[in-house]
Structures are given as structure tokens and as C-alpha cells.
Amino acid sequence: MSTRRDFLKNMSMAAAAGLLVGKAGSASAANSVSEMAPAPTASKIIGLQTYSLGKEFSGDIAAVLKKVKAIGYTDLELAGYNNGKIGQTDLMEFKKMAEAAGLKIVSSHVSYVNPAAKNFFDNVYTKDMIPGALEFWKKTADDHAKLGCTMLVQPMMPTIKSHEDAAVVCDVFNQVGDVVKAAGIPMGFGYHNHNMEFQRVVKPEDAEKAKSGNPFMKVGDQIYDLLLAGTDPSKLFFEMDVYWTVMGQNDPVEYMKKNPTRIKALHIKDRSVLGQSGMMNFEQIFKQMYANGIKHYFVELENMPDGRTQFVGCEESAKYLLKAPFVK
């Protein structure tokens, strides 16, 4: 996870260039077309969070996108937006490349960092930063409306150590929701979780109980629940990362059952390639996803510990979904 954190930190804070688009000719995602699986005949809608391609999303982006399509993906959720560009590629140029590959840009991940934050891990939201935040999101939302995005999603949690911190974040998210909707992005603004949202914050009156109690005693409120309760359903939806929810010792199926109208998109993720760890019950997750009418999901892969490339991991994950009888 630190890799993703570092990545997004760079994207958001340092106006990083070149993380997604590397040196010319360095496209390593590419097996030759003849080496790859034939284009699937099954027509499943499968999204890919482009972060999953890692450093292989580089070089000849148009060619990489074509290969992404060839292994079975139909939709994209972008990472790496920075002031009118995706990595180093101009937005509209990127849109053309995606269209040429037959891929639909559905979503994009962008995080806002308080300019007064000392670093990304001390990103407390404050009331006085709201005007600047809304200005940032207006430009960001306008750009993504031009891309034809269906949704815009913040993937990283601002620092939340108290109920007060959570309340300010909810206030900011509600206001950003209005800005994103006003820009013409149909599903509006969403929030994506990791596992830290399942940590608990404790009110001062419960501090002693939290310190001295049985470690299994649940004192305080899970941050995820505070975000659900404190935001307006018409202004913020949730993109639940099912893997990080499990890593936060919670059940994504139960969350979907309890919040059928708030969770509107999913990250389908495993420890690495989908279906290989044995820790994720994707059959139940997909069953509940369809029961809730959730239409968008994106595969995410953060690492390949066995030395194979990220592209191969994305390919294996697509194969898993294409084969799975429970994926429509």
C-alpha cells in the first residue's frame, strides 16, 4: 500500500511528471499481439483501474491501451490526473487514444491535499481551505466532464483522528459533490477506501474505556461509518474497495447489504491476481453487487510478488473474471 500512497502523493503534491509516461520506447507492457490471448468473444463489461499497470503504463500509451482492450477490459478508471493531463499525456489526446482502442473512460481517481499539510500523511482538512479545494475540484471536474467521465473519485483518506476531523471531511465532500455534479458528471463525486477507514475514532469521554478495555471491545466509531452518516447521499457515493475492506476486518457484502444506495461502484481486488489468495469471496461479492444494481467495477492490482509483470497480472485477472460463471 505504501507504493500506492507514494504514487498518489507524488501525483497530488509534487505535480509529478513522468510516472505514468516513461521514456520513449520503454513500453514493457507489451507482449507482441501474437503472444497474447485472443480477444475474448464473451462480452462482459470489465473495468480496469489504470494504476494497476504500474510502470508498464508508459511509452506508447496508445499501444498499451489497445493491449488492455485485447485482454478483455472494456472500461477504464484513470489515475494520475494532474492539471489537465493524465501523466504527461494531454487529456483530449488520451481520450482519443482510449476511443481508438475501444475503451470507455468511466471514472478517474484524484485526491485533494490541503496545501497547508506538512505531508500527505498529515492531511487534515480545515474549514479555511474549502474555497481553494472547491476551486481545485471545479477545474478537475470540468476537465473530467470533457473526458466524458461518469464519475470522479477521491481515493485517499484525509487524516481523520477525531469525530471533528471526520465532520470537516464530510462537509468538504458534500460541497465537492455539488461542484462535480454541476460540472455535468452524471454519478458525481465518490470516495474510495483503503483499510484505514475501518479504524475507530474515540470521543474524549470514551478515551479511558478505549485504553483500558479488552482489545476486542469495540469502542468508538469506524471512520467509514462516520463518512456514510455525515455525507449527503445526493452528493457523495462510495466506491468500495472490497479487498481493503476485508483487510480492515470488515465484510464488503454486509456493507453492500446495509448500504444499498450509497455504494455505487466497486474495486475488485485481491492480494495480487484475482482469485488466487483464497481470501476473497468474489462469488458472494458479485451476487450482492448485481442485487444492489451496481453497474461499475474496476479491477485493481497493486503488485506482482512473483516477478511477473503487472500487465500479466491484469491479464490473469481479466481471464479469471471472463471465466467466472458468477460474473455476468
> What are the CA-CA distances from residue 189 to residues 40, 124, 138, 176, 317 (Å)?
32, 20, 12, 7, 27
Rounded Cα distance between 108 and 154, Å, is 8
The mark string for 235-264 relative to Mg ion (x by CB under 5 A, - otherwise) is ------x-----------------------
Backbone angles phi, psi at 254, to 5 degrees: -60, -40
Nearer to Mg ion, 56 or 241 (CB): 241
Task: Give the type of residue at 312.
Answer: V
Only segment of 97-105, 166-174, 287-295, 299-307 that touches Mg ion (CB under 5 A): 299-307
261-280 CB burial, b ≥16 within 10 A, e <16: ebbbbbbbbbbbbbbeeeeb
Nearer to Mg ion, 143 or 241 (CB): 241
Rounded Cα distance between 270 and 282, Å, is 9
Nearer to Mg ion, 49 or 114 (CB): 49
For residue 244, the minimal CB distance to Mg ion (Å) is 6
For residue 281, the minimal CB distance to Mg ion (Å) is 17
* Residue 107 bridge partners (DSSP): 77
For residue 193, the minimal CB distance to Mg ion (Å) is 8
For residue 159, the minimal CB distance to Mg ion (Å) is 19
Asked if 300 interacts with Mg ion (CB under 5 A), we say yes
Cell numbers given for 320? 479469471
214-230 CB burial, b ≥16 within 10 A, e <16: eeeeebbbbbbbbbbeb
Q: How many residues bind Mg ion (CB under 5 A)?
A: 3
For residue 267, the minimal CB distance to Mg ion (Å) is 4
Nearer to Mg ion, 173 or 297 (CB): 297
Nearer to Mg ion, 8 or 27 (CB): 8
Residues of this chain that interact with Mg ion (CB under 5 A) are: 241, 267, 300
